[in-house]
Structure 1
Amino acid sequence: MLNRRRVLAASLAAPFASHLPLVSAAETAPLLIDSHVHVWKRDPAFPFAQGRKPPEFDASAEMLLALMQANGVSRTVIVQVIHYRWDNSYLADVLKRYPDKFQGICRVNPEDPAAPDHLSRLTLEQGFRGVRLSPSDQADGDWIRGPLMPPLWRRCAELKVPMTILASPQRMADLVPLIEQNPDLTVVIDHMADALPDQPQQLEALLALARFPKVFVKISHVPRLSKQAYPYADAFDQVKRVIDRFGAGRCMWGTDWPISLSELPYDRMVAVYRDNLGFLSASDRQQILSGTVQKIWPFGL
């Protein structure tokens, strides 16, 4: 693994070698910033939400840090996991303890009229850098078209933090009025909207949002979406379409650890993106591996 990473690093650095001082192979390895993980811990101090089935294993910040170090991942954006619902206390504690390693995305109750004020508190007092909404395809997700959304999206724009959306292709059109009302708001669509590669029309709903310059996409869930074995050619054909329409500067990778453990362990999930973007130029590849996420969630690197 290390030798392969050194070869990759050398190939990326070669076009710039005449302009840079000599550095070690380790120093030229591609910078990796994971745009999408979750953390939780079975701890009485941070109880899971009532009615939620507690996970049978921990996925703590410390476990994540060990995996990051072992796989050359420099920084990570953590998304509040649904196990806690609207109680962001555990993730807030993680952000406080490891401010140089993580950025955090909170959850607020989209059906609560006080959600904008909760978002302000989480942003200004606890350091969160964004909010995640996840409307279902069913009637219980129709709040995304309801009267509580404009105030929440407007507050997000005022706070200058990203609005992150987990939703299917069927919900992409519902986002258009909210995006149009907030043209300066950064909006991030998770997991390519989970559009299926064998149903190309699904992806068109996501690609239609490329006309809005502040809409970004996580090219995550490649192994989950693919109907084929590694290297997931069908899903990477879809990745290419997304990058072609949005540009590398608006796309980023993410592991979705530990949810992704049902498909691959962390090291192999990192490798899926690190090792299979060879169809891109070196600069576009690095943009997806770290540049885009660093633009939206700056780490001060």
Structure 2
Amino acid sequence: MPPADVREQRDEVRAKPLLIDAHVHVWTSDPRYPFAAGANVPRDVDASAERLLQLMAANGVSRTVLIQVIHYKWDNSYLADVLKRYPQHFHGVARVNPTDPAAPDHLSQLTAQGFRGVRLSPTEGAEGDWINGPLMPPLWSRCDQLKVPMTLLAPATRLPDITRLIDRYPDLTVVIDHMADTPLDEPQQLQSLLELARYPKVYVKISHLWSLSKQVYPFADSFVMLKKVYDAFGAQRLIWGTDHPVCLPHVSYGQAVALYRDYLDFMPAADREEIWHGTVQRVWQFGI
């Protein structure tokens, strides 16, 4: 039998869950990577990949999916360089211009550079109506051909538009960010999200609890909606994420991690493990 101190170390390792954060943004003030015109970049935040690696190590996060930040608009250069420098820690999701007919080819180029998918952000107003336009089928079809996930930052009011595309591409993995930011007091909008559970390739990030809640940490009122999403989709299609550093006005990185590590005790242990690392590995294939 191993010595007591070795057994304690092993027990400690087993007690620490494998955590893969599925939603973080990185950026840098390095002039080699200029921000887009008009970008509203917080100047007092260290959002570099190196700072993120420190935070991950301090909070037991093994891997992270990096989502291209809007500050660079369609220029994915900084994130591409981060993926090259730290392939053992990160996967990346790119942004392409959905109103550019060349967007499918741009996605192919980005995938060849190591990106594992694309994120689109159709807003609620008329400026987001491109989601219903003729440029969407070629882009969704390319995503389908490349076998990379389509990630969508969209309000719940856009879910009917998105549903029409899901119907057209039923084999494409689709990830809905932040539970579609469904307001807690809008049950009909929540129903639009829950109805997507009938599509087996649709996944939901259960992030942004701090944004939805009207209470202080750990945002207990938002768990009412989270449980409904869990009941509809099951843990095998739910993904957590800190949304660091966007979350910082509301929670620290450590608090955001702990929110999903320590407060999902209404679920069986096996389901918590699915959310901590199982689902995200199936979607983004970290292979660990």
Out of 245, 255, 262, the residue aligned to residue 242 of structure 2 is 255
Q: Which residue is 2:184 aligned to?
A: 197
Would you say 1:150 and 2:131 are equivalent positions? no
Answer yes or no: is the 8 Å Cα contact 1:42–1:58 preserved in 2.
no
Secondary structure of the 1:48 match is coil
Q: Which moved more, 1:79-88 or 1:43-52?
A: 43-52
Secondary structure of the 2:107 match is helix
Write the distance in 2 (CA, Å) between the matches of 1:28 and 1:115: 45
Secondary structure of the 2:148 match is coil
Q: Which residue is 2:150 aligned to?
A: 163
Q: Which moved more, 1:249-258 or 1:28-37?
A: 28-37
Would you say 1:98 and 2:98 are equivalent positions? no
Q: Which residue is 1:75 aligned to?
A: 63
Q: Which moved more, 1:53-62 or 1:107-116?
A: 53-62
Q: How far has the Cα of 1:181 moved from its partner? A: 1.1
Q: Which residue is 2:207 aligned to?
A: 220
Out of 70, 94, 97, the residue aligned to residue 109 of structure 1 is 97
Would you say 1:89 and 2:69 are equivalent positions? no
1:1-301 to 2 correspondences below 5 Å: 23-56=10-43, 57-124=45-112, 126-301=113-288
Write the distance in 1 (CA, Å) between the matches of 2:285 and 2:267: 24
Write the distance in 1 (CA, Å) between the matches of 2:40 and 2:15: 44
Deviations 1:4-24 (A, max 9, x none): xxxxxxxxxxxxxxxxxx933
Q: How far has the Cα of 1:68 moved from its partner? A: 0.2
Q: How far has the Cα of 1:249 moved from its partner? A: 0.2
Deviations 1:250-273 (A, max 9, x none): 001100000000111101111111
Long gaps (5+) in structure 2: 1-8
Deviations 1:12-68 (A, max 9, x none): xxxxxxxxxx93312331111000000000001111112323431330000000000
User: How many residues matched?
Assistant: 279
Q: How far has the Cα of 1:228 moved from its partner? A: 1.6
- TM-score if structure 2 supplies the norm length? 0.95
Q: How far has the Cα of 1:178 moved from its partner? A: 0.9
Write the distance in 2 (CA, Å) between the matches of 1:274 and 1:54: 29
Write the distance in 2 (CA, Å) between the matches of 1:108 and 1:147: 16
- TM-score if structure 1 supplies the norm length? 0.91
Secondary structure of the 2:161 match is helix
Deviations 1:88-137 (A, max 9, x none): 0000000000001000000000000000000000001x100000000110
Structure 1 residue identity aligned to 2:188: Q
Write the distance in 2 (CA, Å) between the matches of 1:54 and 1:209: 34
Q: Which moved more, 1:35-44 or 1:173-182?
A: 173-182
Secondary structure of the 2:10 match is coil
Secondary structure of the 1:24 match is helix
Long gaps (5+) in structure 1: 1-21
Structure 2 residue identity aligned to 1:95: L
Structure 2 residue identity aligned to 1:284: D
Q: How far has the Cα of 1:140 moved from its partner? A: 0.5
Answer yes or no: is the 8 Å Cα contact 1:165–1:188 preserved in 2.
yes
Secondary structure of the 1:262 match is coil
Structure 2 residue identity aligned to 1:147: P
Secondary structure of the 1:128 match is coil
Structure 1 residue identity aligned to 2:186: Q
Compared with structure 1, are the counterparts of its residues 227 and 53 closer, same or farther at alpha carbon in structure 2 (3 Å cutoff)? Answer: closer
Q: Which residue is 2:5 aligned to?
A: none
- Identity score, percent: 64
Q: How far has the Cα of 1:224 moved from its partner? A: 1.4
Answer yes or no: is the 8 Å Cα contact 1:219–1:239 preserved in 2.
yes
Write the distance in 1 (CA, Å) between the matches of 2:248 and 2:106: 32
Q: How far has the Cα of 1:299 moved from its partner? A: 1.3
Write the distance in 2 (CA, Å) between the matches of 1:289 and 1:237: 20
